[in-house]
């Protein structure tokens, strides 16, 4: 990317922020460039500057862009070893609490939320739980609320479920209908789906468990630190932060506030407040 293109990109991201309030200026540059180039190809514009007027005056174009900027690639029980670690290393502690609050930050289209709901049911904890599933993309949130997924994904989901320590038949948790499946309605009973922007919105207080996997890798170091502080402030003492194996807390400003529970799966527990 040459100097002029860098200026164009800065102006484009500033236009998004000033017009719509979404701040992508601290997303990792390589990720943002790929997404902007993708929108450039779709729009037929000659350069990034040509897209700015369309961005400012065409809300539909912005909605398409927002969806493209969202990270929605996921699956049920993705990375089964992670869910196995949750069963073995977090669930025993959660069982000591009379009620449990869980936040899935950046939940995309909801597959991780339903996976965790199934795990909680199997461990006898679901009825004690209040679960918040959030994303900044309203289209993704709508899909998560519906809980409808393609039938051809089920073989992969089932394999993941079994590898993640599943105790029943995965088919117990969905209803097949033509080329789709709909997740069992009981899995939604204690879930609140909501719009929340990690870049600009505030804490979810008194959480026992926070999930945020495959999101932080798209942020630069400044934004990562802001979001890690948000998670730390949202967790109770001895609350758990789950990042998965693609991200780490080690070089963040809040690292000293946590102990590592599982190094490979990046599962942490919050310490006493450091004075």
What is the span of the domain harbouring residue 246? 80-270
- From first CA to last CA, the distance across the chain in angstroms is 44
Q: Which of 69, 89, 114 is the last residue of a domain?
A: 69
Q: How confident is the model at residue 241 (pLDDT cuts 50, 70, 90)?
A: very high
Q: Which of 18, 38, 69 is the last residue of a domain?
A: 69
Residues 228 and 97 in one domain: yes
Q: Per the structure, how many domains does the chain have? A: 2
Tens of pLDDT, residues 130-160: 999 999 988 899 999 999 999 999 999 999 9
Residues 151 and 104 in one domain: yes
**Residue at 245 is within a domain:** yes
274 pLDDT above the threshold of 80: no
Alpha carbons within 13 angstroms on the beta-carbon side of residue 58 total: 11
Tens of pLDDT, residues 94-111: 999 999 999 999 999 999
Residues 25 and 108 in one domain: no
Q: How confident is the model at residue 178 (pLDDT cuts 50, 70, 90)?
A: confident
**Residue at 31 is within a domain:** yes
Residues 136 and 262 in one domain: yes
**Residue at 74 is within a domain:** no
- The enclosing domain of 250 has a CATH number of 3.40.50.150
Cβ contacts of 32-39, under 8 Å, gap ≥ 24: 32/69, 33/1, 33/9, 35/68, 35/69, 36/9, 36/12, 38/68, 39/64, 39/65, 39/68
Please report which helix (H) or strand (E) contains residue 176, including its range: strand 174-177
Residues 257 and 176 in one domain: yes
267 φ/ψ angles, rounded to the nearest 5 degrees: -110, 130
Residues 60 and 163 in one domain: no
22 touches 16 (CB < 8 A):
yes
C-alpha pair distances (Å), 146 with each of 72, 89, 102, 111, 134: 15, 31, 20, 11, 14
User: pTM, whole model, 2 decimals?
Assistant: 0.88
C-alpha pair distances (Å), 120 with each of 68, 71, 97, 189, 205: 32, 25, 13, 13, 21
Residues 85 and 64 in one domain: no
Return the ∠ at Cα 126 (arms to 123 and 128), rounded to 5°. 115
Tens of pLDDT, residues 185-216: 999 999 999 999 998 888 888 999 999 998 88
Residues 144 and 203 in one domain: yes
**Residue at 230 is within a domain:** yes
Residues 23 and 144 in one domain: no
**Residue at 275 is within a domain:** no
Residues 159 and 227 in one domain: yes
Q: What does the pLDDT average to over 257-266?
A: 95
Residues 236 and 155 in one domain: yes
Both structure tokens of 129: 């739980």
Residues 37 and 129 in one domain: no
């Amino acid at each position: 990317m040459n100097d002029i293109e860098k200026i164009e990109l800065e102006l484009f991201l500033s236009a998004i922020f000033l017009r719509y309030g979404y701040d992508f200026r601290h997303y990792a540059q390589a990720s943002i460039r790929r997404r902007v180039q993708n929108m450039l190809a779709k729009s037929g514009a000659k350069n990034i500057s040509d897209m700015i007027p369309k961005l400012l005056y065409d809300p539909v174009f912005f909605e398409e862009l927002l969806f493209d900027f969202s990270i929605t690639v996921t699956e049920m029980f993705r990375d089964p070893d992670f869910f196995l670690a949750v069963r073995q290393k977090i669930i025993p502690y959660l069982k000591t609490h009379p009620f449990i609050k869980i936040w899935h930050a950046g939940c995309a289209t909801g597959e991780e939320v339903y996976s965790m709901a199934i795990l909680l049911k199997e461990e006898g904890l679901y009825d004690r739980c209040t679960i918040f599933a959030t994303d900044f993309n309203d289209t993704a949130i709508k899909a998560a609320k519906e809980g409808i997924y393609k039938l051809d994904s089920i073989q992969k989901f089932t394999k993941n479920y079994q590898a993640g320590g599943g105790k029943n038949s995965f088919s117990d948790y969905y209803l097949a209908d033509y080329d789709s499946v709909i997740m069992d309605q009981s899995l939604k009973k204690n879930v609140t789906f909501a719009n929340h922007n990690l870049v600009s919105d505030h804490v979810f207080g008194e959480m026992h468990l926070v999930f945020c996997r495959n999101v932080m890798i798209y942020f630069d170091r400044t934004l990562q630190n802001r979001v890690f502080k948000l998670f730390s402030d949202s967790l109770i003492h001895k609350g758990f932060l789950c990042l998965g194996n693609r991200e780490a807390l080690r070089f963040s400003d809040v690292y000293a506030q946590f102990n590592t529970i599982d190094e490979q799966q990046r599962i942490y527990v919050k310490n006493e407040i450091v004075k």
